[in-house]
Amino acid sequence: MATSPRSRVEIRGFEARHYDTLMALLTLGGYQRMLHDAVARMGLEPGHRVLEFGCGPGIAACAIADAIGPDGFYLGLDISEVMLAKARRKCRPFGDRVAFRIQRIDEPLPFHEDFDRVFISFVLHGFEEPDRRLIVRNAARALKPGGAFYILDYNEFDVDRASWPVRFFIRRIECPLAEEFIRSDLKALLSAEGFGDFQEWHYFRGLVRLQRAKRL
């Protein structure tokens, strides 16, 4: 399956090699702080099994591994070997209870009720609606009953009424799919795929949302 030409979540070259540094500089460290705060809100317990979709250079991975302790297991999936090499380097101290795999998340995955948590951060907005649905379905299948899916991404807001720097960023720098995602009803999509018991937290003046959805 090929990524939509309207997407920019497949990060390559210089941007992939320096993704975490670029994000830290652009947000004055806010991106890393937000990811660590999101991990702290995931209700992680020692022994949990966690799956991350589009884990990138592993900014969340080590924080998750710390929270689930020596009996836990973390698996990060991504399509970028450059990103995964960085993630593997960062998480080496955790040994084989942290693993990374080259794997597209917009095709059916082989997991079935294997994980307590699924996490996805700034990836879902970069897919066409049918692919977003497939990714949400992959999360539902991978989760144990009662497990939870945590999505960190753009919140729903009126782009026309946002400040000009936000409008400029979304319309000129982000991918065209991002605005469609911002206008879409994420909870309706999650409900249709068997999720409920929603809770959310906001970052960057409400432009970003951490959405919790439990597998019912």
Ligand X SMILES: C[S@@+](CC[C@H](N)C(=O)[O-])C[C@H]1O[C@@H](n2cnc3c(N)ncnc32)[C@H](O)[C@@H]1O
Q: Which one of residues 51, 55, 136, 140 is an interface residue with ligand X (CB under 6 A)?
A: 55
In sequence order, the 6+-apart residues with CB closer than 8 A to the CB of 157 are 182, 206, 207
41 binds ligand X (CB under 6 A): no
Residue with CB nearest ligand X? 56
Residue identified by tokens 């990374």 is 100
9 binds ligand X (CB under 6 A): yes
CB of 31 or CB of 73, closer to ligand X: 31
Subset of 79-138 contacting ligand X (CB under 6 A): 79-80, 83, 104-106, 121-123
75 binds ligand X (CB under 6 A): no
What is the distance, to the nearest Å, from the Cα of residue 56 to the centroid of all Cα atoms in its chain? Answer: 9
Cα(94)–Cα(4) distance, rounded to whole angstroms? 35
Residue type for position 81? E
Structure tokens given for 144: 């144990």
Rounded alpha-carbon distances, angstroms, from residue 90 to 54, 102, 202: 16, 17, 27
* Helices and strands in the chain, H and E counts: 9, 7
Beta carbon of residue 134, minimum distance to ligand X (angstroms, whole number): 10
What is the distance, to the nearest Å, from the Cα of residue 102 to the centroid of all Cα atoms in its chain? Answer: 16
Stretch that binds ligand X, among 5-13, 164-172, 184-192, 204-212 (CB under 6 A): 5-13
67 binds ligand X (CB under 6 A): no
Beta carbon of residue 123, minimum distance to ligand X (angstroms, whole number): 4
CB of 49 or CB of 125, closer to ligand X: 125
Cα(178)–Cα(16) distance, rounded to whole angstroms? 19
153 binds ligand X (CB under 6 A): no
Residue identified by tokens 């994000």 is 23
76 binds ligand X (CB under 6 A): no
Stretch that binds ligand X, among 38-46, 63-71, 77-85, 191-199 (CB under 6 A): 77-85
Cα(179)–Cα(88) distance, rounded to whole angstroms? 32
Stretch that binds ligand X, among 73-81, 166-174, 189-197, 206-214 (CB under 6 A): 73-81
CB of 3 or CB of 191, closer to ligand X: 3
Stretch that binds ligand X, among 78-86, 89-97, 172-180, 192-200 (CB under 6 A): 78-86
- Number of Cβ within 10 Å of residue 69's Cβ equals 13
Residues at the interface with ligand X (CB under 6 A) = 3, 9-11, 54-56, 59, 77-80, 83, 104-106, 121-123
